Amino acid sequence: MALTQSVSAFSTIKPAVAARSSLVSSPVSSSTSLNVADLDTVALVAGQENYGFAAVALGEALWSFGQAPSFSNAKVFIPAVIAAGVLGAVSGPMITSGDASSAALGLEIATGVTVLLGASYLARLLAPFSPSPKEIPFLGLLFAIAGFIAFSQNLVVDGFVTLPNLPSIPLPQIPLGLGEDIDTSYGL
């Protein structure tokens, strides 16, 4: 439903003119189609998360390398640069494209990148020797977990992925014995 008057960045929208949100006026539906405004919001938020996670991956590599700059420690840039490249050049434009199927694929790619980058951080944590403090990849692992949660939540909540419903199982009724059989007329 569109607005009945044109709106600029500096005009106010009167409540009688604005359309009510479908989230407020109707109960939750099982449809996987997104409204245009909802897709724009998803693209904005998920795109910021995507590009932000790419910056965090590069920042972690720079910080880790800065703590112990050596040729052998330069290997921390390999997963970070690959992850940032995929997030910035592949999944980022897909998420912000405005097309629902492209955004879904971009979120799936970003979710996969968080898993792989998290595995890289975990491998660095489990290594017996690290030239830089292990607190740095641990912080990166926390960000990778947060990124996974954010991207997978966007996939599920925004309706790109539908989880299967379990069949309803009839549960037995158990009498709790709350005193229904107690004679309360005693002494009356």
CB within 8 Å of 112: residues ≥ 6 apart: none
Q: What angle do CA 112, 115, 121 make, to 5 degrees?
A: 140
Which stretches of the chain are assigned E, i.e. beta strand?
A: none
Rounded CA-CA distance 15/3 in Å is 11
Rounded CA-CA distance 62/77 in Å is 8
Structure tokens at 110: 């970003």
Give tens-digit pLDDT for 67-122.
989 898 899 999 999 999 999 999 999 999 988 889 999 999 999 999 999 999 99
Burial class (CB in 10 A: 0-12, 13-18, 19+), 152: middle
Give Cα 24 distance to the centre of its chain.
23
The answer on pLDDT for 24 being more than 90 is: no
pLDDT for residue 42 = 87
Confidence of residue 148 (pLDDT cuts 50, 70, 90): very high
The more confidently predicted of residues 151 and 23 is 151
pLDDT for residue 40 = 86
pLDDT for residue 145 = 96
Q: Which of 146, 147, 138, 105 is nearest to 120 (CA)?
A: 138
pLDDT for residue 147 = 94
The answer on pLDDT for 9 being more than 60 is: no
pLDDT for residue 51 = 95
The answer on pLDDT for 143 being more than 60 is: yes
pLDDT for residue 31 = 47
CB within 8 Å of 19: residues ≥ 6 apart: 1, 2, 3
Give Cα 135 distance to the centre of its chain.
24
Q: Is the overall model pTM greater than 0.85, yes or no?
A: no
Give tens-digit pLDDT for 52-77.
999 999 999 999 999 989 898 899 99
The answer on pLDDT for 45 being more than 80 is: yes
Confidence of residue 173 (pLDDT cuts 50, 70, 90): confident
Q: Which of 90, 88, 92, 101 is nearest to 155 (CA)?
A: 101
